[in-house]
A and B are shown apart, each in its own frame.
Chain A
């Protein structure tokens, strides 16, 4: 196959193509853009990547990924330390924090119980969660897990394990999404929405 660029550029394209959302074609376009904007884009990107790669850490308290320890969330004195929100993954933490409706602490579980993938309670950060929930200032643990069979099964398992801690264990509501129309919803969602109906004030 005829080559139009060096093996270094080819390698860069191959690495870029491994990123989510990018295939070989879009990776080539991205690399080409970087090459065209070498000083304004490529060098700053390389420096930023280098700095983050050197400094990145997993927060020993909540499991968040950050360049400081403890992470930005755990180190923020304005946060409400009496509430811990349990999420599956760092992506969920970023999504929840982006909404700016929750100002408590987080705990990254590292996945959900799954027989198929062989994920057992020992593979998740359940022990550290129980230790954190046992601290006297913690009053509530919110289980913000996916509305899937695995997510909900894990939620109930966690609720059982947290029984001995003196905390209120809550879960996210399930139901009609914002902008959702009833005739487009599946009957499972409609059933959970009906079960979780509330009084209109």
Chain B
């Protein structure tokens, strides 16, 4: 068995004294692990950092074997992220969410391309904490859809209207309009404009964009917990929790824009 593909490093854990077990995300082979000889050595350790884009060749005698990777670095975005806590926290959060949610060897090309785009956003010097937060919420919405738990945010679950969709039912994952949801607003989740499929409610300058970003993460976090993490007796990944905490700290320091 052998294949070669471009991959994004999710994590690497030590194996023995000098080797590592590398986990990557690829478009055609999904989340895939493999053994890397000398992976803890000086030459290869730097390649195995989360977020690096590699050309990997996986070889194994049988399909079900762990197999071994040979690798070559294509691009490392980490240079732009080192020294910036928010970017690193966002990177750790998305990698932890993927690892905790995605089954192994289940190809999801859309998720691979979404992760590659998110990495570009994290690397771009002009991007801000808001882009990272909204990007993570959008990625998680896509993750839910890829895993078969898509949120239906196109029309109101009660009236069928596509107007003023500002809530989501925590039971069904369907959108609810402002009129139909008014009586139940305490029990409904907020639907921020940037996750809405109609794009309604785009901020006109007075809207609280930070609140929208946090509501987006609350919404996707709720459904990821209920549909995927809790099923495997897992809570929200600590790295995601720390990123959300960091976002709140930034907003309290009034440096969030």
Contact = CB atoms under 8 A, between A and B. Distances in A.
B83 A195 contact: yes
Contacts of B80: 191
A150 B78 CA distance: 12
Contacts of B51: 149
A189 B77 CA distance: 10
Given A152-B88, A186-B73, A147 B82 contact: yes
A187 B49 contact: no
Interface stretch (A58-66, A81-89, A103-111, A155-163): A155-163
Interface stretch (A38-46, A113-121, A134-142): A113-121
A174 interface: yes
A192 interface: yes
A189 B11 contact: no
B244 interface: no
Interface in B69-91: 73, 75-83, 85, 88-89, 91
Contacts of A187: 73, 75-76, 79
Contacts of A191: 76, 78-80
Main secondary structure on chain A at its contact with chain B? Answer: helix
B13 interface: yes
A188 B52 contact: yes
Contacts of B238: 113, 115, 120
A196 B46 CA distance: 19
A161 B102 CA distance: 32
Q: Could you say which interface size class chain B belongs to?
A: 35 or more
B242 interface: yes
B94 to A, nearest CB: 11
A157 B242 contact: yes
B30 interface: no
A2 interface: no
Contact of A159 (B52, B85, B100, B239): B85
Contacts of B99: 115-116
B136 interface: no
A153 B88 contact: yes
Contacts of B50: 149
B25 to A, nearest CB: 14
B46 A188 contact: yes
B92 interface: yes
Given A156-B88, A160-B249, A116 B79 contact: no
Given A153-B88, A156-B89, A188 B239 contact: no
Interface of B: 11, 13, 17, 45-47, 49-52, 73, 75-83, 85, 88-89, 91-92, 95-96, 99-100, 237-239, 242, 246, 249
6 contacts: A148-B45, A150-B92, A160-B246, A188-B46, A188-B76, A192-B79
Q: Nearest 3 CB-CB pairs, A to B?
A: A191-B79, A156-B85, A188-B76
Given A120-B238, A148-B45, A156-B88, 16 more contacts: A115-B96, A115-B238, A152-B81, A152-B82, A153-B85, A157-B242, A160-B246, A186-B47, A186-B76, A187-B75, A187-B76, A188-B52, A189-B46, A191-B76, A191-B80, A192-B82
Interface of A: 20-21, 113, 115-117, 120, 147-150, 152-153, 155-157, 159-160, 171, 174, 186-192, 194-196
